[in-house]
Chains A and B, each alone.
Chain A
Amino acid sequence: MKIAALALVVCVLAVASLLFGSADVSLKDLFRLLSHNDDPGLSTIVLDIRLPRTLLALLVGAGVSASGAAIQGMFRNPLADPALIGVSAGAALFAAIYVVLDGSQGLSLIGMTGSAFVGGLLTTWIVLVVGGRGGGLSTILLAGIAINAIALSGVGMLSYLSTDMQLRSISFWALGSLNGATWVSVLLALAIPVVVLLIFLESRNLNVITLGDEEAEHLGVSHQKLRVRIVSLCAVAVGIGVALTGVIAFLGLVVPHLVRMTLGSNHRTVVPASALLGGMLLLVADVISRTILAPTELPVGILTALVGGPFFIYLIMVEQKGRLVL
């Protein structure tokens, strides 16, 4: 019921988001567009610029947030972030490599996205292989931290070597933006809902793994196999998102947390609600980021970090108050 209400709010906001931007579009214009399209300018703004952007925000926000929920459950740590498995840093590194190696000024969406996606998956795979050797969760966590640091130092090194133009591309990408949304990127992002559905199918297993690895095994769930499945699914969902929009900070961390505070911990609720709320918040953040400094745009990653950071501190403080057992 609550999920359905959330879905309805998402739909309303999605339509509303089409009205915001540097050009004025009214609700009447939208109806006109639906009934008989006699204005090519309006059609370009709404159908080719804003609609793909809205859809991309919903899809990427959903993928990152549902992954956050799954990673937090799997690491049994409500403060875990999908970035822990190295996917964002790896994608950033490979995007930077592509920018520096590609001599041309106009970067291709497919080239940049493809290399970022491959980089994200490759780094996650290294984290799994290195971290999996120790067998424990903490080994994966530590491997993730180390490999994150290595990848980001690589990005730093490439930024140092790059030209001003390339540096701008690298840093803009690292800040996260939905500015480049096209129908091609929406098409690529359509894999995200499939992955979110697969994560949802692991909900019961995620519930059980929060009890502990041994406890999960006694309830019929292999923690090792589940770990590989969850990390791989999240790497794909976050990898696509990061590849298409850059790094969107804090969403994967804050959204599942917010859902748990209001709707409880059952992953059968947490995963879909995080996907909906994540999509919704990224959409709202994007609308704000493209209107607040209009006609220029603030990268949405800056906004999510700016709002998400303090809000997260607030969440931690509220949560500690409500707990007896620490």
Chain B
Amino acid sequence: MNLSARNISFAIKDLTILRDIDLEIQGGKTTVLLGPNGAGKSTLMKILSGYLKATGGEVMIAGCDPEKISLKARARMLGVLTQRSSLEFPFTAREVIAMGRMPFGVSEGFDEVTQELLSMFGVAADQSYLTMSGGEQQLVQLCRVFAQVWGRGSEAFLLLDEPMTALDLRYQSKIASTLKKLSLQGLGQLVVMHDINLAAELADEIVLMSHGNVVAKGSAEEALKVDNLERTFDTVINQLGGGSERYFRAELEK
């Protein structure tokens, strides 16, 4: 099952946000979107998830126009983590995670999937979401999205906008291993992130974006090159080491 975008453009009045983007997410493969703030990554994510309609081009989910798929059916195919969720009510962690099971008609939080995610990530099930730290809240939101695609294998896709935000190293590595595990089960993934080195580790394909355009695309080996990164981020990038040991970092401004 594929999620594909062909010639996607998006503009608000005279402001062009995306220009002719081609992208294909295949089952079992992970695509990572890298780019500076304002490059259009989140907008592209919203278009792929069907929340926004592109002003040009077409999106296909498993060969279908997303507008022709009912919201319920789409929710069973796509798990989406947005950048900001505005939860202002003292739901417990269990209740928030269980919301991810709603497309499957389960919502009370005592189903197997919710229980498994709670214990897997060591989330305090009955703690109020509002008393959690930013990182803990992010973890709960991630678990909610995982709950939506858990066990679905190649029947679903995962679209994550900056999943590692506010997470400490332990949780970053835990989430990264979970993404790898889900990928092995056949789940197609699109992940927006800022950590180039983590991206290199996770991605089957990397897409570098800047000002609404694709700057470079390919395997980590092909796409992650100093000149591509410098063009993308408009800053000086240093490469340390080589081969599988290479490491990129932005040079500090003098």
Contacts and interface: CB of A to CB of B under 8 A. Distances in A.
A binds B: yes
A266 B51 contact: no
B90 interface: yes
A111 interface: no
Given A219-B75, A219-B103, A207 B88 contact: no
B118 interface: no
A17 interface: no
Given A324-B131, A325-B137, A265 B46 contact: no
Contacts of A217: 50-51, 71
Interface residues of B, number: 37
Contacts of B96: 211
B88 A325 contact: no
B82 to A, nearest CB: 5
Contacts of A260: 89-90
A266 B74 contact: no
Interface residues of A, number: 26
Interface string A208-225: 101110110111111000
Nearest to B73: A220
A185 to B, nearest CB: 34
B131 A207 contact: no
Interface in A187-222: 204, 207-208, 210-212, 214-215, 217-222
A219 B100 contact: yes
B106 to A, nearest CB: 10
B80 interface: yes
Contacts of B95: 207, 264-266
A261 B37 CA distance: 39
Nearest to B80: A218
Contact of A265 (B70, B74, B89, B148): B89
Contact of A207 (B51, B72, B85, B107): B107
Interface string B99-135: 1101100010000000000000000000000111110
B72 A220 contact: yes
Interface string B128-168: 00111110010000000000100000000000000000000
A227 interface: no
Contact of B133 (A212, A218, A325): A325
Contact of B89 (A210, A221, A322, A324): A210
Contacts of A210: 87-89, 91
A220 B101 CA distance: 11
A264 B91 contact: yes
A219 B148 contact: yes
Contacts of A325: 130-134, 137
A221 B148 CA distance: 14
Contacts of B131: 322-325
A214 B88 contact: no
A77 interface: yes
Contacts of B103: 219-220
Contact of B86 (A78, A211, A322, A323): A211
Contact of A218 (B70, B78, B130): B78
6 contacts: A76-B86, A212-B82, A217-B51, A218-B148, A221-B71, A264-B95
